Amino acid sequence: MNAKRQLFYGDVQVTQGELLYNEPMSRYTSWRVGGTADCMYIPAGIEDLSAFMHSMEDGEPLHFVGLGSNLLVRDGGIRGTVILMHNALTDMAMTDGLLYAEAGVTSSKVAKFSAKQHRHGAEFLAGIPGTVGGALAMNAGCHGAETWDVVAKVMTINRKGMISTRDRKAYKASYRHVEMPAEEWFLAAWFALPEGDMTEAEKRIKALLAKRLETQPLNLPNAGSTFRNPEGDYAARLIEACGLKGFLIGGAQVSEKHANFIVNVGNATALDIELLIKHMRDTVLELQGVALQQEVRVIGEYA
């Protein structure tokens, strides 16, 4: 047991989650790359996570990870602790007319659950390859809709393990960005969704998923969109215009199906992917005069 984490007070166990050491992050990222995390904690629930975080030393590096679908972990791994939310905080229910979903619930499950509850407005979430926590943190969206369009209130946790509930008005959300206090993370959200027809909502979800399958390289490990769309244009169009579709660095390739996706075609390293991201950005700037903003989050150390 790591002495830095007082998981027991005397003989009383205060946490019930799973504590792992030197855990390969390639198991938890959609690119299937990345070095090991010094420590990983998979909480048994919200109160358990609060107890664990309260036990942490001040200043210890801390990272929250959901599906790892918008994340690149460098080959040298992560110092400090990773909190794994997927398959941990997964409660979802209708309460007081709002759809409650914890941060580890996948966005697609929220969309499907919403439809079955005869609600509409959450269908777009079926096209977002991540969890509620990630969707909240980056204001994920597609097809003209964004996560914070339907948020009523959220639950958060800070470094000390203190839990807070705040109204949507406490946050300023913009394209792929949300302003929030430092060292605070989302635990859950309540979504305000109007009543609607279940069949129609399910049809929209089915159509969206079919389009995603048709236009995105879902057969290969990827992390979704690499860059944000610049105002009035599309990152994929700019990248394709530079002739970069199919461009390879090691095992990382600009997708031949969707130019704003990087795919792992086999044995890619995180460095391959990071170098390819840089090459794409530099090339678009040189040939198109547009400075693309990266959507993928990069953490960890070089090998």
From first to last of its 303 residues, the chain has per-residue pLDDT tens of: 343 455 554 455 667 899 999 999 999 999 999 999 999 999 999 999 999 999 888 889 999 999 999 999 999 999 999 999 998 999 999 999 999 999 999 999 999 999 999 999 999 999 999 999 999 999 999 888 999 999 999 999 999 999 999 999 999 999 999 999 889 999 999 999 999 999 999 999 999 999 999 999 999 999 999 999 999 999 999 999 999 999 999 999 999 999 999 999 999 999 999 999 999 999 999 999 999 999 999 999 999
Cα separations in angstroms, 70 against 31, 51, 79, 131, 224: 9, 28, 19, 10, 7
The one catalytic residue in 32, 176, 237, 297 is: 176
Read off the tokens for 28. 């938890």
* Residues 109, 112, 116: CA angle, nearest 5 degrees: 135
Distance, in Å, from the CA atom of 116 to the CA atom of 101, rounded to the nearest integer, reads 15
Domain with CATH 3.30.465.10 in the chain: 92-214
Question: If DSSP codes are grouped into helix, strand and coil, which group holds residue 39?
Answer: strand
DSSP 215: H
* pLDDT computed for residue 171 by the predictor: 96
In the annotation, is 295 catalytic? yes
* pLDDT computed for residue 2 by the predictor: 43
Q: Answer for the pair 272, 262: CB distance below 8 angstroms, yes or no.
A: no
* pLDDT computed for residue 55 by the predictor: 87
* pLDDT computed for residue 11 by the predictor: 53
In the annotation, is 225 catalytic? yes
The one catalytic residue in 69, 114, 225, 255 is: 225
Hey, what CATH topology would domain 8-84 get?
3.30.43
DSSP 170: G
Helix (H) or strand (E) holding 118: none
For 92-214, CATH number out of 3.40.50.300, 3.30.465.10, 2.70.98.10, 3.40.1260.10 equals 3.30.465.10
Shortest CA distance to 134 belongs to which of 101, 107, 161? Answer: 107
Distance, in Å, from the CA atom of 262 to the CA atom of 283, rounded to the nearest integer, reads 15
231 HSE (CA, 13 A, CB side): 2
Helix (H) or strand (E) holding 299: strand 297-299
Hey, what CATH topology would domain 217-299 get?
3.90.78
Distance, in Å, from the CA atom of 230 to the CA atom of 273, rounded to the nearest integer, reads 21
Q: Answer for the pair 43, 26: CB distance below 8 angstroms, yes or no.
A: no
Q: Which residue has the tokens 């704003």?
A: 260
Domain with CATH 3.30.43.10 in the chain: 8-84
* pLDDT computed for residue 230 by the predictor: 96
